[in-house]
Chain A
Amino acid sequence: DAGVIQSPRHEVTEMGQEVTLRCKPISGHDYLFWYRQTMMRGLELLIYFNNNVPIDDSGMPEDRFSAKMPNASFSTLKIQPSEPRDSAVYFCASSLWTGGAYEQYFGPGTRLTVT
């Protein structure tokens, strides 16, 4: 399996522009997670889906952030309009619920820079 795929790997944009981050989870996984990593706040969960349905979006910072999962093999995280404080590494992770301490598999991340 190719693992979790994220695109782009790097994104540089100007303040006010719309940014869309993409994620393809591991085939067969039923959970998908979006995390943000910054020096100040560390790794924090933004939102997660189960069977394409958003379950917990309490970590989404504000209305400028939105996430969708139109099917089991694709998810997007959109920021509109972007601001310099959104600069971070955004990770997508997927997992298959098996009960117990199952693993979340992370993608390589997208480094977003907003100037």
Chain B
Amino acid sequence: DIQLTQSPSTLSASVGDRVTISCRASQSIGTWLAWYQQKPGEAPALLIYRASTLETGVPSRFSGSGSGTEFTLTISSLQPDDLATYYCQQYNTYSGTFGQGTKLEIK
């Protein structure tokens, strides 16, 4: 099974900060990586797929990059509405592993 490791597990940042979350795969997954945002009490929502393609309707301050085993989610200017837990997921096989999540707190 492919394992995904996110870092950091928790992150505290101020409004306007640039925020970066990393996701490392245990073996190459090409660009078959997605990022999700889960706000408290809500279902997850898709932000980015194919590692760098922004889902329709997602603010442009979110961006994704990477390929192979190293991936990054960047929020260019943190907003109060971005308080959430963020998950990466690989989906290139019949097993779609999630990372353990990164909880983002607003200072």
The judgment on whether A and B are partners is: no
* A contacts, CB < 8 Å to B: none
